[in-house]
Structure 1
Amino acid sequence: MDVIKLLELIQTHQQWVYGLLLAYTLAKTGPLPLVAGYVSGTGALDFGLVIAACSVGTIAGSNIRFFVGSLLSSRLFRWSPKAAPWIALGAVGVDRFGFWLLPLYRFSKGTFTLVGLGAGISMNHRRFVVLDAIGAALWVAAMVGVGRGLWLLGLQVKPEWAAYFGLSLMSCGLLATVVLGRRLKKFLNPYALAALERYRHQPA
Protein backbone atom coordinates (compact mmCIF):
# COMPACT_ATOMS: atom_id res chain seq x y z
CA MET A 1 0.00 0.00 0.00
CA ASP A 2 1.51 3.34 -1.04
CA VAL A 3 1.42 6.50 1.07
CA ILE A 4 -1.44 8.15 -0.83
CA LYS A 5 -3.72 5.13 -0.41
CA LEU A 6 -2.80 4.88 3.27
CA LEU A 7 -3.70 8.54 3.84
CA GLU A 8 -6.98 8.05 1.99
CA LEU A 9 -7.75 5.06 4.23
CA ILE A 10 -6.95 7.09 7.35
CA GLN A 11 -9.18 9.94 6.19
CA THR A 12 -12.05 7.57 5.39
CA HIS A 13 -11.88 5.89 8.80
CA GLN A 14 -10.57 8.81 10.83
CA GLN A 15 -13.13 8.34 13.63
CA TRP A 16 -11.49 4.98 14.37
CA VAL A 17 -8.07 6.62 14.29
CA TYR A 18 -9.15 9.14 16.93
CA GLY A 19 -10.43 6.25 19.03
CA LEU A 20 -7.13 4.44 18.58
CA LEU A 21 -5.24 7.58 19.64
CA LEU A 22 -7.39 7.89 22.76
CA ALA A 23 -6.84 4.24 23.70
CA TYR A 24 -3.12 4.44 22.94
CA THR A 25 -2.52 7.54 25.05
CA LEU A 26 -4.63 6.08 27.86
CA ALA A 27 -2.25 3.11 27.94
CA LYS A 28 1.16 4.69 27.28
CA THR A 29 3.19 7.74 26.25
CA GLY A 30 4.77 6.48 23.04
CA PRO A 31 5.37 8.23 19.70
CA LEU A 32 1.99 7.66 18.01
CA PRO A 33 0.76 11.25 18.74
CA LEU A 34 3.83 12.51 16.87
CA VAL A 35 2.85 10.39 13.86
CA ALA A 36 -0.74 11.65 14.11
CA GLY A 37 0.51 15.24 14.19
CA TYR A 38 2.48 14.56 11.02
CA VAL A 39 -0.54 13.00 9.30
CA SER A 40 -2.74 15.94 10.34
CA GLY A 41 -0.52 18.17 8.21
CA THR A 42 -1.70 16.30 5.12
CA GLY A 43 -5.37 16.94 5.98
CA ALA A 44 -6.14 13.25 6.54
CA LEU A 45 -6.75 13.99 10.24
CA ASP A 46 -8.07 17.09 11.98
CA PHE A 47 -5.31 18.74 14.02
CA GLY A 48 -7.71 19.89 16.77
CA LEU A 49 -9.30 16.46 17.13
CA VAL A 50 -5.87 14.82 17.33
CA ILE A 51 -5.01 17.19 20.19
CA ALA A 52 -8.36 16.47 21.89
CA ALA A 53 -8.13 12.66 21.58
CA CYS A 54 -4.57 12.58 22.91
CA SER A 55 -5.39 14.96 25.77
CA VAL A 56 -8.46 13.02 26.93
CA GLY A 57 -6.64 9.71 26.67
CA THR A 58 -3.50 10.68 28.58
CA ILE A 59 -5.39 12.53 31.34
CA ALA A 60 -7.82 9.64 31.79
CA GLY A 61 -4.91 7.18 31.87
CA SER A 62 -2.98 9.08 34.52
CA ASN A 63 -6.06 9.50 36.73
CA ILE A 64 -6.92 5.80 36.49
CA ARG A 65 -3.41 5.00 37.65
CA PHE A 66 -3.71 7.55 40.46
CA PHE A 67 -6.89 5.98 41.81
CA VAL A 68 -5.47 2.45 41.53
CA GLY A 69 -2.47 3.59 43.58
CA SER A 70 -4.66 5.45 46.05
CA LEU A 71 -7.23 2.72 46.64
CA LEU A 72 -5.10 -0.41 46.28
CA SER A 73 -1.65 0.67 47.46
CA SER A 74 -1.27 -1.84 50.32
CA ARG A 75 -2.58 -4.67 48.12
CA LEU A 76 -0.24 -3.74 45.26
CA PHE A 77 2.79 -4.20 47.50
CA ARG A 78 1.55 -7.65 48.55
CA TRP A 79 0.30 -8.83 45.16
CA SER A 80 3.33 -7.70 43.15
CA PRO A 81 6.52 -8.27 45.17
CA LYS A 82 8.69 -7.81 42.07
CA ALA A 83 7.01 -4.53 41.11
CA ALA A 84 6.75 -3.26 44.71
CA PRO A 85 10.23 -1.65 44.84
CA TRP A 86 9.49 0.24 41.62
CA ILE A 87 6.10 1.41 42.89
CA ALA A 88 7.76 2.60 46.12
CA LEU A 89 10.37 4.40 44.04
CA GLY A 90 7.60 6.17 42.13
CA ALA A 91 5.84 7.16 45.35
CA VAL A 92 9.03 8.57 46.89
CA GLY A 93 9.90 10.37 43.67
CA VAL A 94 6.51 12.07 43.56
CA ASP A 95 6.69 12.88 47.26
CA ARG A 96 10.07 14.60 46.92
CA PHE A 97 9.98 16.01 43.39
CA GLY A 98 6.29 16.04 42.43
CA PHE A 99 6.24 19.74 41.52
CA TRP A 100 8.82 19.10 38.77
CA LEU A 101 8.22 15.43 38.07
CA LEU A 102 4.50 15.49 37.25
CA PRO A 103 4.72 18.09 34.48
CA LEU A 104 7.61 16.21 32.84
CA TYR A 105 7.26 12.47 33.49
CA ARG A 106 5.41 11.72 30.24
CA PHE A 107 8.56 12.63 28.32
CA SER A 108 10.47 9.80 30.02
CA LYS A 109 9.93 6.32 28.63
CA GLY A 110 8.49 3.77 31.05
CA THR A 111 7.38 6.15 33.82
CA PHE A 112 3.69 6.71 33.02
CA THR A 113 2.38 3.89 35.19
CA LEU A 114 5.14 4.12 37.78
CA VAL A 115 4.59 7.81 38.53
CA GLY A 116 0.80 7.57 38.26
CA LEU A 117 0.62 4.80 40.85
CA GLY A 118 3.19 6.56 43.02
CA ALA A 119 1.21 9.80 42.96
CA GLY A 120 -1.88 7.94 44.14
CA ILE A 121 0.07 6.70 47.14
CA SER A 122 1.85 9.90 48.13
CA MET A 123 -0.15 12.92 46.87
CA ASN A 124 -3.65 14.34 47.26
CA HIS A 125 -5.78 14.25 44.14
CA ARG A 126 -6.43 17.99 43.82
CA ARG A 127 -2.73 18.81 43.56
CA PHE A 128 -2.16 15.87 41.25
CA VAL A 129 -4.90 17.02 38.86
CA VAL A 130 -3.35 20.47 38.46
CA LEU A 131 0.26 19.34 37.97
CA ASP A 132 -0.70 16.38 35.80
CA ALA A 133 -2.91 18.54 33.56
CA ILE A 134 0.01 20.89 33.00
CA GLY A 135 2.17 17.91 32.10
CA ALA A 136 -0.47 16.49 29.76
CA ALA A 137 -0.80 19.82 27.94
CA LEU A 138 2.98 20.12 27.55
CA TRP A 139 3.38 16.55 26.32
CA VAL A 140 0.50 16.59 23.84
CA ALA A 141 1.49 19.99 22.47
CA ALA A 142 5.11 18.91 22.09
CA MET A 143 4.44 15.52 20.52
CA VAL A 144 1.67 16.56 18.13
CA GLY A 145 3.37 19.88 17.45
CA VAL A 146 6.69 18.24 16.56
CA GLY A 147 4.85 15.86 14.23
CA ARG A 148 3.12 18.76 12.51
CA GLY A 149 6.44 20.62 12.35
CA LEU A 150 8.12 17.62 10.70
CA TRP A 151 5.46 17.67 8.01
CA LEU A 152 6.03 21.37 7.42
CA LEU A 153 9.77 20.78 7.35
CA GLY A 154 9.25 17.98 4.87
CA LEU A 155 7.69 20.46 2.45
CA GLN A 156 10.95 22.38 2.27
CA VAL A 157 13.54 19.61 2.45
CA LYS A 158 13.71 15.97 1.42
CA PRO A 159 11.20 13.85 3.42
CA GLU A 160 13.92 11.50 4.65
CA TRP A 161 15.64 14.42 6.39
CA ALA A 162 12.42 15.16 8.25
CA ALA A 163 12.40 11.52 9.37
CA TYR A 164 16.04 11.78 10.47
CA PHE A 165 15.18 14.89 12.49
CA GLY A 166 12.34 13.06 14.25
CA LEU A 167 14.54 10.06 15.02
CA SER A 168 17.24 12.35 16.39
CA LEU A 169 14.78 14.00 18.77
CA MET A 170 13.56 10.62 20.02
CA SER A 171 17.14 9.36 20.45
CA CYS A 172 18.12 12.43 22.48
CA GLY A 173 15.06 11.99 24.67
CA LEU A 174 15.87 8.32 25.26
CA LEU A 175 19.51 9.11 26.11
CA ALA A 176 18.47 11.81 28.59
CA THR A 177 15.99 9.39 30.18
CA VAL A 178 18.66 6.71 30.66
CA VAL A 179 21.29 9.07 32.09
CA LEU A 180 19.03 11.13 34.36
CA GLY A 181 16.90 8.12 35.32
CA ARG A 182 19.89 6.18 36.62
CA ARG A 183 21.08 9.11 38.71
CA LEU A 184 17.62 9.76 40.11
CA LYS A 185 17.11 6.09 40.93
CA LYS A 186 20.46 5.93 42.74
CA PHE A 187 19.55 9.00 44.80
CA LEU A 188 16.02 7.85 45.65
CA ASN A 189 16.69 4.16 46.20
CA PRO A 190 17.48 4.37 49.98
CA TYR A 191 14.30 6.37 50.57
CA ALA A 192 12.31 3.92 48.43
CA LEU A 193 13.53 0.90 50.41
CA ALA A 194 12.53 2.56 53.68
CA ALA A 195 9.16 3.50 52.26
CA LEU A 196 8.65 -0.02 50.93
CA GLU A 197 8.89 -1.48 54.42
CA ARG A 198 6.43 1.11 55.68
CA TYR A 199 3.94 0.51 52.87
CA ARG A 200 4.10 -3.27 53.26
CA HIS A 201 3.00 -3.00 56.86
CA GLN A 202 0.05 -0.76 56.15
CA PRO A 203 -3.36 -2.38 56.82
CA ALA A 204 -5.12 -3.71 53.71
Structure 2
Amino acid sequence: MAPPLPGPLAHLSPLLTHYGYWAVGAVVLVEDFGVPAPGETILIAAGIYAGAGQLNIVAVAVIAFAAAVIGDNIGYLIGHTGGRAVVHRWGRYVFLTPDRFRAAEEFFTRHGGKIVVVARFVEGLRQVNGIIAGTSGMPWRRFLVFNAIGAALWVGLWASVAYAAGAHITAIYDEIARYQLYALVALGVLIAAFVVRRALRRRHRD
Protein backbone atom coordinates (compact mmCIF):
# COMPACT_ATOMS: atom_id res chain seq x y z
CA MET A 1 0.00 0.00 0.00
CA ALA A 2 1.30 3.46 -0.90
CA PRO A 3 2.21 5.65 2.07
CA PRO A 4 0.10 8.76 2.72
CA LEU A 5 1.92 11.81 1.44
CA PRO A 6 1.91 14.63 4.01
CA GLY A 7 1.65 18.38 3.61
CA PRO A 8 2.36 19.85 0.16
CA LEU A 9 2.92 16.37 -1.35
CA ALA A 10 -0.59 15.10 -0.59
CA HIS A 11 -2.24 16.44 -3.76
CA LEU A 12 0.08 14.31 -5.91
CA SER A 13 -1.11 10.99 -4.45
CA PRO A 14 -3.95 10.45 -6.97
CA LEU A 15 -1.66 11.33 -9.88
CA LEU A 16 1.03 8.87 -8.81
CA THR A 17 -1.47 6.17 -7.87
CA HIS A 18 -3.19 6.25 -11.28
CA TYR A 19 -0.33 7.08 -13.64
CA GLY A 20 2.88 6.15 -11.80
CA TYR A 21 5.98 6.57 -13.97
CA TRP A 22 4.02 8.37 -16.69
CA ALA A 23 3.12 11.11 -14.20
CA VAL A 24 6.76 11.55 -13.18
CA GLY A 25 7.97 11.81 -16.77
CA ALA A 26 5.20 14.12 -17.96
CA VAL A 27 5.33 16.59 -15.07
CA VAL A 28 9.13 16.85 -15.02
CA LEU A 29 9.18 17.22 -18.81
CA VAL A 30 6.69 20.09 -19.06
CA GLU A 31 8.19 21.93 -16.09
CA ASP A 32 11.57 22.00 -17.80
CA PHE A 33 10.47 24.01 -20.83
CA GLY A 34 8.67 26.72 -18.88
CA VAL A 35 5.28 25.31 -17.86
CA PRO A 36 4.64 25.95 -14.13
CA ALA A 37 4.33 22.34 -12.92
CA PRO A 38 5.50 20.62 -9.70
CA GLY A 39 8.38 18.68 -11.27
CA GLU A 40 10.62 18.63 -8.20
CA THR A 41 7.70 17.84 -5.92
CA ILE A 42 6.55 14.86 -7.97
CA LEU A 43 10.12 13.52 -8.10
CA ILE A 44 10.26 13.62 -4.30
CA ALA A 45 6.83 12.03 -4.00
CA ALA A 46 7.78 9.26 -6.45
CA GLY A 47 10.97 8.62 -4.49
CA ILE A 48 8.90 8.21 -1.34
CA TYR A 49 6.60 5.76 -3.13
CA ALA A 50 9.66 3.84 -4.29
CA GLY A 51 11.02 3.73 -0.75
CA ALA A 52 7.73 2.19 0.35
CA GLY A 53 7.94 -0.43 -2.39
CA GLN A 54 5.27 1.02 -4.70
CA LEU A 55 7.61 2.09 -7.51
CA ASN A 56 11.10 1.09 -8.66
CA ILE A 57 13.62 3.78 -7.68
CA VAL A 58 15.90 3.05 -10.66
CA ALA A 59 12.98 3.49 -13.06
CA VAL A 60 11.93 6.70 -11.29
CA ALA A 61 15.47 8.11 -11.54
CA VAL A 62 15.99 7.12 -15.20
CA ILE A 63 12.60 8.50 -16.29
CA ALA A 64 13.06 11.75 -14.35
CA PHE A 65 16.57 12.22 -15.76
CA ALA A 66 15.45 11.62 -19.34
CA ALA A 67 12.43 13.91 -18.94
CA ALA A 68 14.56 16.65 -17.39
CA VAL A 69 17.14 16.57 -20.18
CA ILE A 70 14.54 16.39 -22.96
CA GLY A 71 12.43 19.14 -21.38
CA ASP A 72 15.37 21.52 -21.09
CA ASN A 73 16.38 20.79 -24.68
CA ILE A 74 12.87 21.65 -25.84
CA GLY A 75 13.30 24.90 -23.93
CA TYR A 76 16.66 25.46 -25.61
CA LEU A 77 15.04 24.91 -29.02
CA ILE A 78 12.27 27.40 -28.19
CA GLY A 79 14.81 29.99 -27.11
CA HIS A 80 17.18 29.35 -30.00
CA THR A 81 14.56 29.45 -32.77
CA GLY A 82 11.99 31.85 -31.38
CA GLY A 83 14.32 34.01 -29.37
CA ARG A 84 13.19 36.93 -27.29
CA ALA A 85 10.05 37.49 -29.37
CA VAL A 86 8.53 34.25 -28.05
CA VAL A 87 9.50 35.05 -24.48
CA HIS A 88 8.13 38.60 -24.65
CA ARG A 89 4.87 37.43 -26.19
CA TRP A 90 4.18 34.30 -24.14
CA GLY A 91 6.47 34.60 -21.12
CA ARG A 92 3.90 36.36 -18.93
CA TYR A 93 1.76 33.22 -18.97
CA VAL A 94 4.55 31.37 -17.10
CA PHE A 95 5.47 34.38 -14.91
CA LEU A 96 8.47 35.29 -17.06
CA THR A 97 8.16 39.04 -17.53
CA PRO A 98 10.57 40.94 -19.83
CA ASP A 99 12.36 42.44 -16.80
CA ARG A 100 12.80 39.04 -15.14
CA PHE A 101 13.97 37.53 -18.39
CA ARG A 102 16.52 40.29 -18.98
CA ALA A 103 17.94 39.94 -15.47
CA ALA A 104 18.11 36.15 -15.78
CA GLU A 105 19.78 36.35 -19.18
CA GLU A 106 22.44 38.78 -17.91
CA PHE A 107 23.14 36.53 -14.94
CA PHE A 108 23.26 33.49 -17.24
CA THR A 109 25.68 35.18 -19.67
CA ARG A 110 28.07 36.16 -16.86
CA HIS A 111 28.32 32.69 -15.36
CA GLY A 112 28.14 30.48 -18.46
CA GLY A 113 27.98 26.69 -18.25
CA LYS A 114 28.14 26.34 -14.48
CA ILE A 115 24.86 28.22 -14.07
CA VAL A 116 23.16 25.54 -16.18
CA VAL A 117 24.11 23.03 -13.47
CA VAL A 118 23.17 25.30 -10.56
CA ALA A 119 19.90 26.44 -12.18
CA ARG A 120 18.54 22.92 -11.86
CA PHE A 121 18.29 23.46 -8.08
CA VAL A 122 16.82 27.00 -8.20
CA GLU A 123 13.07 27.44 -8.44
CA GLY A 124 12.28 29.74 -11.36
CA LEU A 125 15.62 29.26 -13.09
CA ARG A 126 14.95 25.53 -13.43
CA GLN A 127 11.89 26.22 -15.57
CA VAL A 128 13.54 28.73 -17.94
CA ASN A 129 17.08 27.38 -17.95
CA GLY A 130 16.91 25.95 -21.46
CA ILE A 131 15.06 28.92 -22.94
CA ILE A 132 17.65 31.39 -21.65
CA ALA A 133 20.51 29.18 -22.86
CA GLY A 134 18.96 29.23 -26.33
CA THR A 135 18.39 32.98 -26.49
CA SER A 136 21.83 33.80 -25.06
CA GLY A 137 23.57 31.85 -27.83
CA MET A 138 25.21 29.11 -25.78
CA PRO A 139 26.41 26.31 -28.11
CA TRP A 140 23.99 23.38 -27.95
CA ARG A 141 26.63 20.72 -27.20
CA ARG A 142 27.97 22.76 -24.30
CA PHE A 143 24.46 23.23 -22.97
CA LEU A 144 23.69 19.53 -23.38
CA VAL A 145 26.71 18.46 -21.29
CA PHE A 146 26.12 20.89 -18.43
CA ASN A 147 22.39 20.26 -18.51
CA ALA A 148 22.90 16.49 -18.25
CA ILE A 149 25.27 16.97 -15.30
CA GLY A 150 22.75 19.20 -13.54
CA ALA A 151 19.89 16.79 -14.21
CA ALA A 152 21.89 13.83 -12.89
CA LEU A 153 22.80 15.66 -9.67
CA TRP A 154 19.25 16.95 -9.18
CA VAL A 155 17.60 13.58 -9.74
CA GLY A 156 20.24 11.78 -7.71
CA LEU A 157 19.82 14.09 -4.72
CA TRP A 158 16.04 14.19 -4.46
CA ALA A 159 15.40 10.60 -5.48
CA SER A 160 17.94 9.33 -2.92
CA VAL A 161 16.65 11.49 -0.07
CA ALA A 162 13.02 10.65 -0.79
CA TYR A 163 13.76 6.95 -1.23
CA ALA A 164 15.55 6.87 2.13
CA ALA A 165 12.52 8.51 3.78
CA GLY A 166 10.16 5.96 2.21
CA ALA A 167 7.44 4.72 4.52
CA HIS A 168 8.72 6.91 7.37
CA ILE A 169 7.77 10.16 5.65
CA THR A 170 4.81 10.93 7.92
CA ALA A 171 6.94 10.69 11.07
CA ILE A 172 9.70 12.75 9.44
CA TYR A 173 7.22 15.41 8.32
CA ASP A 174 5.70 15.58 11.80
CA GLU A 175 9.15 16.19 13.28
CA ILE A 176 9.87 18.92 10.72
CA ALA A 177 6.50 20.57 11.41
CA ARG A 178 7.19 20.48 15.14
CA TYR A 179 10.37 22.48 14.81
CA GLN A 180 9.55 24.70 11.83
CA LEU A 181 8.36 27.57 14.07
CA TYR A 182 11.77 27.66 15.76
CA ALA A 183 13.47 27.57 12.38
CA LEU A 184 11.33 30.48 11.12
CA VAL A 185 12.11 32.51 14.24
CA ALA A 186 15.83 31.82 13.81
CA LEU A 187 15.61 32.83 10.15
CA GLY A 188 13.82 36.04 11.10
CA VAL A 189 16.51 36.88 13.63
CA LEU A 190 19.26 36.28 11.06
CA ILE A 191 17.53 38.48 8.49
CA ALA A 192 16.99 41.24 11.07
CA ALA A 193 20.65 41.04 12.11
CA PHE A 194 21.75 41.26 8.48
CA VAL A 195 19.55 44.32 7.85
CA VAL A 196 20.79 46.07 11.00
CA ARG A 197 24.41 45.30 10.09
CA ARG A 198 23.96 46.74 6.60
CA ALA A 199 22.29 49.84 8.02
CA LEU A 200 25.10 50.38 10.55
CA ARG A 201 27.75 49.96 7.84
CA ARG A 202 26.02 52.46 5.59
CA ARG A 203 25.67 54.91 8.47
CA HIS A 204 29.34 54.49 9.35
CA ARG A 205 30.39 55.17 5.74
CA ASP A 206 28.22 58.28 5.59
TM-score using structure 1 length: 0.67
Pair 1:107–1:81, CA change in 2 (3 A): closer
The reply on whether 1:33 has 2:43 as its aligned counterpart is: yes
Partner residue in 1 for 2:35: none
Residue 200 (structure 2) aligns with: none
Q: CA RMSD in A?
A: 3.3
Unaligned runs of 5+ in 1: 180-204
Q: How does 1:36-55 map to 2 (within 5 A)?
A: 36-55=46-65
Gaps of 5+ in 2: 6-12, 32-38, 192-206
**Scaled by the length of structure 2, what TM-score is found?**
0.66
Larger mean Cα displacement after TM superposition, 91-100 or 116-125: 91-100
Distance 1:5 1:99 in 2: 39
Q: Which of 19, 24, 32 is residue 22 of structure 2 equivalent to?
A: 19
8 Å Cα contact 2:4-2:170 kept in structure 1: no
State the AA in 2 paired with 1:26.
L
Look up the match of 1:98. Answer: 112
Q: Tell me whether 1:73 sits opposite 2:86 in the alignment.
A: no
Would the aligned equivalents of 1:91 and 1:115 in 2 still touch at CA under 8 Å? no
Aligned to 1:84: 98
| 1:160/1:16 CA distance change after superposition, 3 Å | closer
Residues 165, 104 of structure 1: alpha-carbon distance in 2 compared, 3 angstrom cutoff = farther
Is the 1:90–1:115 contact (alpha carbons within 8 Å) kept by the matching residues of 2? no
Alpha-carbon displacement from aligned partner over 1:45-95 (angstroms, at most 9, x marks no partner): 011110111111111111111110110114225525862222222222221
Change (3 A) 1:161 1:30: same
Task: Point out 4+ residue stretches in structure 1 off by more than 3 angstroms.
Answer: 2-6, 164-169
Aligned runs of 1:1-204 on 2, under 5 Å? 16-28=19-31, 29-76=39-86, 78-80=88-90, 83-122=97-136, 123-151=138-166, 154=168, 159-164=169-174
Pairs aligned (count): 162
Secondary structure in 2 matching 1:107: coil
